[in-house]
Homo-oligomer: A and B are copies of this chain.
Amino acid sequence: MTEFSAIGQRMRLVDGQPKITGQIRYAADLNIPGLLHARFVTSPHAHATIKSIDAEAALALPGVVAVLTAQDMPDILPTNRQRLLLARERAIFVGQPVALVVAESEAAAQDGVEQVMVDYEALPAALTIDEALATDAPLVWPNGVPGESGEAAAHGADVGGEEGSARKSSNVASRSHFNKGDLAAGFAEADVVVERIFTTAMVHQSPLETHATVVQIDPLTNGVTVYSSTQAPYHVRKQVADVLGMEESDIRSVSTPLGGAFGGKFVLYEPLVALAAKAVNRSVSLVLTRQEELLASNPAPSGRIRVKLGAKRDGSFTALEAEIVFNGGCYPSSPVGIAMVLTGSLYQVPNFELNGLEVLTFKPSSGAYRAPGIPQASFALESVVDEVANQLGLDPLELRLKNASKSGDPMVHGENWASIGMIEVLKTLQQHPAWQNRAAAQAAGRGVGIGIGGWPGGVEPASAACTLERDGTVHVHLSSVDMSGTNTGFALIAAEAFGVSPDKVRIITGDTNGAVYAGAAGGSKITYTVGPAVIQAAEEARKHVLSIAAELIEADPADLEIVNGRVQVKGAPDSGISLGDIAGKTMQFGGKYAPVFGHGRHVDTTRSPGFCAQLAEVEVDQETGDVRVHKLVIVQDVGRAINPATVEGQMMGGAMQGLGWALYERTEYDSYGQLLTASWMDYTVPHIHQGALEMETVIVEVPTDHGPFGARGVGEPPIIPTAGAVANAIAHATGTRLTDLPMTPPRVLAALSRKPVDGNGSAP
């Protein structure tokens, strides 16, 4: 077993202190002299022609500087949501920005919004999957569906598969298909076949901090600096450059500290705000209100998933059929492909047929949300697997173990699973007392259910640099956004590789003008992809330091070690020279040694998927339908826990959001496309007391050969299996199968009484 000095330490977040003391400056806190504030005029119609916009009264208000409409914007093809800018002639969802009021204060902007008169002619709208697929459905894009945004691809959800091109003159954005073997023969072989249809809701990422962008004109160039709450500064740079018609080098994108993102903050309104700043030639800030965030951002799509699974008496799966339909809103970007891949590849099934369909509707387009597409797929598949176990009278965990995919097994899209720990995760959960004692729990009126899922992980080239300073600290320079504590992990990684204490490491995050590159903080790939670059940079810097020290103290570099911030001959503390003194000799007039500067360039196209299994122990109130989660056990293969404290934080945070999917969260529209859940009074993000009474994390470490010190991506897996585990626990407690998320009390009551429920949830 490897001995680590830093890896595995429980280290506090490097930015924890400023965060809890309120010292941190989010994008909305930026106070640039002469800063203007922008606010949207939004469409009240899901679909309407815009006949005219009268800004005269708004412009007459004190403090209002400009009212921008599509006429003030370049007439670019709205090939992705970020390029939709302001509605031109036609609005296609309730909440769509139609005009932008720019004023000296937010209040003046809001006053202006109320005075802008827009003359609409309402048009019929299709809101649900079925409405959108009707033959006479109004079309979101009558002239053809725009090209994909590439955002799902960036998040790791671009997995290939056959894709039809039924895009013209319909609301179908894409069809995809995977199959293998003989489906009919597979089902014929089965002793049990279970088929169910599931629905999942449109769920919002709900970061505490809404989307916020501040754009400043660069006084030295014609370019702009974009400060925004983004996971993806290089995406922002590219999109802003594109709409401004400038080169990427003209744009500096700075990611401000994230107050939550969860996949929803790649690029959204940065191009619009950049155009607004250019139009008025002043700095402009746009900070969404919570209502705007819920109306006009990019939530996870709602979906309908049909799963049919056949198995023999011994539990081996024989055939799988699935149809996955996502309601993607007004742009094609929902993660149907990745949902299909997980559905078909989690278990090894010899015969399968999978069909995916992405439908466009008059709703906001969907964006990435933690493990995009997979919580939905896992909920459906894991529910059916439990039903199969039930009907066969088999242990549901053993049934999973029997069919679980292993390293090297094929996936539906032709690739093979890389090294994975699905079996190890299941076996670890199997030993847990809560699983061992599930019969007792059931006898006490509770139910125990499990679920599992995996996230393939992301890959992207990355670079990093490492320097040594005169105060003896090691500086690590990178450009990845600090999300989920990644910078704290990098402090540990650099400390391990360089040979110093983690508190002697400073992480310096550059903007897009920096020398180092990292992809978007999404897809559970920052530690995985940037970590190796940090190791390379730190090791190169260490080597350089040892070579300088060797010359200074006349020793062989191989005989040297770094102990307590000093380089010394092994075992001879008196021989040493401090790191700070070495740095000083590289940073002085006439110095004989080059500045300590290690650089790392990393590329690796092998993903290292991470699996998470969860166990829920629930109690169902038969009178109210309320589901109480007594216990939630989260078992996850993280490869290597760089910082167990943040790893556990991710596991708990993901599972908490999983509980939101399972029991609470739903973005609800009425039949006219009006948002019914436009505030956090109506949209239920679970409070801490609505979570599990007891939440337990169990870290499994099946190291990969690719991540830093064996680490895998940690962020996405823990949100995946929660809904399935809770549904299975409800079934275990009540004998009743729930198939619609969220499993609200009315739905639970209805299921218990086997009656359909009205007004308890719109069609997906």
Contact = CB atoms under 8 A, between A and B. Distances in A.
Interface of A: 15, 18, 23-25, 31-33, 153-156, 158, 219-221, 234, 238, 241, 247-249, 458-463, 465-467, 469-471, 473, 475, 477, 506, 508, 510, 513-517, 519-520, 523, 544, 586-595, 597, 599, 601-603, 605
Given A589-B460, A601-B594, A508 B513 contact: yes
A544 B601 CA distance: 11
Contacts of A238: 470
Contacts of A601: 544, 594-595, 597
A514 B154 CA distance: 28
B15 A463 contact: no
A32 B517 CA distance: 30
Nearest to A32: B33
Given A477-B515, A597-B517, A153 B23 contact: no
Given A460-B591, A477-B515, A597 B599 contact: yes
11 contacts: A24-B220, A249-B473, A461-B586, A461-B588, A461-B591, A461-B595, A466-B515, A591-B603, A594-B601, A594-B603, A597-B601
B602 A590 contact: no
Nearest to A476: B515
B599 A471 contact: no
Nearest to A257: B220
B515 A467 contact: yes
Contact of A461 (B249, B523, B593): B593
A455 to B, nearest CB: 15
A153 B595 CA distance: 19
Given A516-B597, A517-B467, A594-B463, A506 B249 contact: yes
- Number of copies of this chain in the oligomer? 2
A461 B18 contact: no
A550 to B, nearest CB: 16
A470 to B, nearest CB: 5
A552 to B, nearest CB: 14
Residue among A31, A523, A595, A599 with max Cβ neighbours from chain B (10 Å): A595
B463 A589 contact: no
Nearest to A537: B515
A597 B587 CA distance: 22
Given A220-B24, A471-B249, A473-B249, A517 B156 contact: no
Given A33-B33, A597-B515, A602-B594, A23 B220 contact: yes
Contacts of A603: 586, 591-594
Contacts of A18: 219-221
A156 B589 contact: yes
B517 A586 contact: yes
Contacts of A605: 590, 592
A471 B603 CA distance: 21
A727 B605 CA distance: 72
Nearest first, the 9 closest Cβ-Cβ pairs linking A and B are A594-B601, A465-B515, A247-B471, A517-B595, A31-B33, A477-B515, A594-B603, A463-B595, A599-B599
A15 B220 contact: yes
A153 B589 contact: yes
A440 to B, nearest CB: 48
A248 B590 contact: no
Nearest to A29: B219
B473 A517 contact: no
Contact of A594 (B461, B523, B591, B592): B461
B249 A469 contact: yes
A589 B515 CA distance: 19
Given A18-B221, A220-B23, A515 B460 contact: no
A598 to B, nearest CB: 8
A25 B602 CA distance: 37
Contacts of A220: 15, 18, 23-25
Residue among A475, A508, A589, A593 with max Cβ neighbours from chain B (10 Å): A589
A470 B248 contact: yes
A457 to B, nearest CB: 11
Contacts of A592: 603, 605
Given A219-B25, A234-B587, A514-B477, A462 B595 contact: yes
Contacts of A158: 589-590
A593 B154 CA distance: 16
A233 B185 CA distance: 75
Contact of A23 (B24, B219, B473, B477): B219
B463 A597 contact: yes
A449 to B, nearest CB: 35
Contacts of A595: 461-463, 516-517, 601
Contacts of A23: 219-220
Contacts of A506: 249
Residue among A31, A154, A469, A523 with max Cβ neighbours from chain B (10 Å): A469
A92 B466 CA distance: 45
